Amino acid sequence: MRKIEELAAAIEHHGVNQGISATAIPNLSLIRADRVSVPVPAVYEASCCIIAQGAKQVSLGDQHLFYDATKYLIASVDLPVVGHVQEASPEQPYLCCKIDLNLAALNDMIMSQGMPAAPTDLPVMAVYPTDPDLLDAACRLIGLLDQPDSIATLAPLIEREILYRLLTGPHGALLRHQARADSHLNQVSRAIRLIRERFEERLRIGEIAAAAGMSESSLHAHFKSITRMTPIEFQKQLRLQEARRLMTSSGSSASEAGFAVGYDSPSQFSREYRRLFGLAPRQDVDRLRAEDRYVGAV
């Protein structure tokens, strides 16, 4: 069996639910979709996404990336994207594994290996040809789900191997740049982390800039350059995505969901929701349920 077929079989065996499923391995998620999805705004964590079957397009602003079983995607920092599963069916579902990058371990490896500094004019998200060694490591990582007693000992070792494969591959420079504590990419990632942790709160730009270790003007310029959004626009998208999730998965009303994510005004929530998703909250949720095409952040 080819490695890509082995990976598809392992994902299908363990990731039986539609959408994204967490696993007993903290940094590993498995994703399945039985049909083409509507474009869905989502936040991608710093991660490596390997498709074993099917295809997807991910957009960051005006950057559009297509990947399938011949290419995998690297995001070097948490990013607000729009994802769209383009090839999937019940007979040939979209199957993907998502491996979150342990940035502390990544930085430790860079330091211990004495790897050179990276240029700064690098994309924060890119696709690369599938690497057989990376596929083999991903298969072994997923295989540990059948050996739960081995996960605590062996999963960190395989994850470290995966980090090594990524650092020594064509995307190594991108990851080395992210890991530098004084890089703008690293500083913006700290700002993103704060916004994600406290998205429902009223955050001041000065507070976000302080967390990033930047001036307000520098934060605004570099944040928008990397994410294609201002910090406030990013927080707004996080709020609306969570409200959409609450309404589709928990049955919350529009007013309940809006209040839960930090909106005081139902009319403002409805207006901003329509601007992002194209329909009023209830219309959007009814459409997604009727079409059964909402598969979340896959």
| Same domain, residue pair 257 and 172 | no
| Same domain, residue pair 169 and 192 | no
Q: Is residue 284 part of a domain?
A: yes
Residue 297's pLDDT is what? 45
Domain boundary pick from 118, 150, 178 = 178
| Same domain, residue pair 108 and 11 | yes
* pTM of this structure: 0.83
What SS3 state is found at 251? coil
pLDDT per position in the chain (298 positions), as tens? 589 999 999 999 997 788 889 999 999 999 999 999 878 788 888 899 999 999 999 998 888 999 999 999 999 888 888 898 999 999 999 999 999 998 778 878 877 776 655 555 567 888 999 889 999 999 999 999 999 999 999 999 999 999 999 888 877 877 776 666 567 778 888 899 999 999 999 999 999 999 999 999 999 999 998 888 899 999 999 999 899 989 988 888 999 999 999 999 999 999 999 998 889 999 998 887 776 554 444 4
| Same domain, residue pair 60 and 195 | no
Tokens of 267: 């009319």
Residue 186's pLDDT is what? 80
| Same domain, residue pair 79 and 15 | yes
| Same domain, residue pair 39 and 172 | yes
Residue 95's pLDDT is what? 96
Q: Is residue 201 part of a domain?
A: yes
Domain with 34, as residue range(s), is 3-178
pLDDT digits (tens, 9 = 90+) for 93-136: 999 999 999 877 887 887 777 665 555 556 788 899 988 999 99
CA dist 121 and 26 (Å) reads: 32
| Same domain, residue pair 108 and 36 | yes
| Same domain, residue pair 58 and 74 | yes
Tokens of 49: 């996404």
Residue 298's pLDDT is what? 45
Task: Identify whether the C-beta of residue 121 lies closer than 8 Å to the C-beta of residue 82.
Answer: no
